[in-house]
Protein backbone atom coordinates (compact mmCIF):
# COMPACT_ATOMS: atom_id res chain seq x y z
CA UNK A 1 0.00 0.00 0.00
CA UNK A 2 1.41 3.39 -0.85
CA UNK A 3 2.29 5.70 2.03
CA UNK A 4 -0.36 8.38 1.36
CA UNK A 5 -3.21 5.80 1.38
CA UNK A 6 -1.87 4.20 4.56
CA UNK A 7 -1.62 7.64 6.20
CA UNK A 8 -5.24 8.43 5.22
CA UNK A 9 -6.48 5.10 6.60
CA UNK A 10 -4.59 5.64 9.86
CA UNK A 11 -6.07 9.14 10.23
CA UNK A 12 -9.59 7.80 9.60
CA UNK A 13 -9.10 5.02 12.17
CA UNK A 14 -7.84 7.53 14.74
CA UNK A 15 -10.84 9.79 14.10
CA UNK A 16 -13.29 6.90 14.51
CA UNK A 17 -11.62 5.83 17.74
CA UNK A 18 -11.87 9.39 19.06
CA UNK A 19 -15.55 9.71 18.12
CA UNK A 20 -16.34 6.33 19.70
CA UNK A 21 -14.43 7.15 22.88
CA UNK A 22 -16.13 10.53 23.25
CA UNK A 23 -19.57 8.89 23.34
CA UNK A 24 -18.71 6.71 26.36
CA UNK A 25 -19.19 8.29 29.78
CA UNK A 26 -16.89 7.10 32.59
CA UNK A 27 -18.58 5.38 35.52
CA UNK A 28 -16.90 6.05 38.89
CA UNK A 29 -17.07 3.57 41.79
CA UNK A 30 -16.40 5.07 45.21
CA UNK A 31 -13.96 3.37 47.54
CA UNK A 32 -15.51 2.16 50.76
CA UNK A 33 -13.41 3.87 53.40
CA UNK A 34 -13.29 3.14 57.12
CA UNK A 35 -15.27 5.56 59.32
CA UNK A 36 -13.57 8.94 59.49
CA UNK A 37 -11.65 8.40 56.24
CA UNK A 38 -12.44 10.18 53.00
CA UNK A 39 -10.11 9.03 50.22
CA UNK A 40 -9.71 11.36 47.21
CA UNK A 41 -9.89 8.59 44.61
CA UNK A 42 -12.29 6.02 43.20
CA UNK A 43 -11.96 2.27 43.78
CA UNK A 44 -12.39 1.78 40.05
CA UNK A 45 -13.46 3.66 36.93
CA UNK A 46 -15.17 1.94 34.03
CA UNK A 47 -15.03 3.41 30.53
CA UNK A 48 -16.82 1.25 28.00
CA UNK A 49 -15.45 -2.26 28.38
CA UNK A 50 -12.32 -1.13 30.23
CA UNK A 51 -11.97 -1.16 34.01
CA UNK A 52 -9.24 0.94 35.64
CA UNK A 53 -8.50 -0.01 39.25
CA UNK A 54 -6.85 2.24 41.80
CA UNK A 55 -3.72 0.94 43.47
CA UNK A 56 -4.19 -1.66 46.19
CA UNK A 57 -2.06 -2.23 49.26
CA UNK A 58 -2.25 -5.16 51.68
CA UNK A 59 -5.17 -3.99 53.79
CA UNK A 60 -6.95 -6.82 55.56
CA UNK A 61 -10.63 -7.14 56.50
CA UNK A 62 -9.95 -5.14 59.68
CA UNK A 63 -8.89 -2.10 57.60
CA UNK A 64 -5.27 -2.37 58.69
CA UNK A 65 -2.12 -3.27 56.79
CA UNK A 66 -1.42 -7.00 57.23
CA UNK A 67 1.80 -7.99 58.98
CA UNK A 68 4.15 -10.81 58.15
CA UNK A 69 6.41 -9.45 55.43
CA UNK A 70 6.33 -9.16 51.67
CA UNK A 71 4.84 -12.61 50.99
CA UNK A 72 1.81 -12.07 53.22
CA UNK A 73 1.35 -8.49 52.04
CA UNK A 74 1.68 -9.40 48.34
CA UNK A 75 -0.93 -12.15 48.72
CA UNK A 76 -3.32 -9.73 50.44
CA UNK A 77 -2.77 -7.14 47.68
CA UNK A 78 -3.56 -9.67 44.96
CA UNK A 79 -6.60 -10.98 46.88
CA UNK A 80 -7.85 -7.39 47.22
CA UNK A 81 -7.41 -6.86 43.46
CA UNK A 82 -9.26 -10.11 42.73
CA UNK A 83 -12.20 -9.01 44.91
CA UNK A 84 -12.25 -5.58 43.24
CA UNK A 85 -12.20 -7.16 39.78
CA UNK A 86 -15.08 -9.48 40.72
CA UNK A 87 -17.17 -6.60 42.13
CA UNK A 88 -16.90 -4.83 38.80
CA UNK A 89 -17.44 -7.69 36.36
CA UNK A 90 -13.92 -8.87 35.61
CA UNK A 91 -11.25 -11.31 36.74
CA UNK A 92 -7.51 -11.92 36.59
CA UNK A 93 -8.09 -13.63 33.22
CA UNK A 94 -9.06 -10.23 31.80
CA UNK A 95 -6.29 -8.08 33.30
CA UNK A 96 -4.27 -6.45 30.52
CA UNK A 97 -1.88 -4.18 32.44
CA UNK A 98 -0.43 -3.79 35.96
CA UNK A 99 1.96 -1.39 37.63
CA UNK A 100 3.83 -2.54 40.73
CA UNK A 101 5.47 -0.24 43.27
CA UNK A 102 7.82 -1.89 45.77
CA UNK A 103 9.22 -0.20 48.88
CA UNK A 104 12.35 -2.33 48.37
CA UNK A 105 13.31 -3.55 44.89
CA UNK A 106 15.03 -6.52 46.56
CA UNK A 107 11.48 -7.87 47.14
CA UNK A 108 10.91 -8.12 43.37
CA UNK A 109 11.61 -11.89 43.06
CA UNK A 110 9.45 -12.73 46.09
CA UNK A 111 6.61 -10.56 44.80
CA UNK A 112 6.86 -12.21 41.37
CA UNK A 113 6.43 -15.66 42.95
CA UNK A 114 3.14 -14.57 44.55
CA UNK A 115 1.95 -12.54 41.53
CA UNK A 116 2.56 -15.42 39.09
CA UNK A 117 0.05 -17.61 40.95
CA UNK A 118 -2.86 -15.30 40.16
CA UNK A 119 -2.62 -15.60 36.39
CA UNK A 120 -3.12 -18.48 33.97
CA UNK A 121 -1.02 -18.89 30.85
CA UNK A 122 -1.07 -15.20 29.86
CA UNK A 123 0.46 -12.42 31.90
CA UNK A 124 -0.57 -8.77 31.59
CA UNK A 125 1.84 -6.08 30.43
CA UNK A 126 3.60 -4.84 33.55
CA UNK A 127 5.97 -2.30 35.00
CA UNK A 128 7.64 -2.52 38.42
CA UNK A 129 9.67 0.10 40.23
CA UNK A 130 11.08 0.89 43.66
CA UNK A 131 9.60 3.71 45.71
CA UNK A 132 10.95 5.75 48.61
CA UNK A 133 7.74 5.01 50.50
CA UNK A 134 4.18 3.76 50.09
CA UNK A 135 0.92 4.57 51.91
CA UNK A 136 0.67 3.24 55.47
CA UNK A 137 4.24 1.89 55.24
CA UNK A 138 3.18 -0.81 52.77
CA UNK A 139 5.83 -2.95 51.09
CA UNK A 140 3.94 -3.20 47.78
CA UNK A 141 1.18 -1.44 45.86
CA UNK A 142 -0.33 -2.76 42.63
CA UNK A 143 -2.59 -1.02 40.11
CA UNK A 144 -4.25 -2.92 37.25
CA UNK A 145 -6.48 -2.34 34.23
CA UNK A 146 -8.77 -5.02 32.86
CA UNK A 147 -11.52 -5.72 30.37
CA UNK A 148 -14.86 -5.66 32.19
CA UNK A 149 -17.24 -8.41 31.12
CA UNK A 150 -20.57 -6.98 32.34
Is pLDDT at 8 greater than 90 in this prediction? no
Which of 87 and 34 is assigned the larger pLDDT? 87
* Burial (Cβ within 10 Å: 0-12, 13-18, ≥19) of residue 40: exposed
CA dihedral 69, 51, 131, 119 (to 10 degrees): 50
Enter the pTM of the model. 0.81
- Please report, rounded to a whole number, the percentage of residues in the chain having pLDDT higher than 90: 70
Average pLDDT, the chain: 87
Q: Give mean pLDDT, residues 44-66.
A: 95
What residue ranges do the domains of the chain occupy? 25-147
Question: pLDDT tens-digit profile of 64-105?
Answer: 999 999 999 999 999 999 999 999 999 999 999 999 999 999
Which of 101 and 22 is assigned the larger pLDDT? 101
* Alpha-carbon distances of 58 from 66, 73, 77, 115, 122, rounded to whole Å: 6, 5, 4, 13, 24
Q: Which class would CATH give 25-147?
A: alpha beta
Amino acid sequence: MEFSKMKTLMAAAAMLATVGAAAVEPEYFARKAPPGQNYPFSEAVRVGDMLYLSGEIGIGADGKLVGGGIKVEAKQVMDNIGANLARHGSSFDHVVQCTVALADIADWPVFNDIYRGYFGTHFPARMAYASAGLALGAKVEVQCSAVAMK
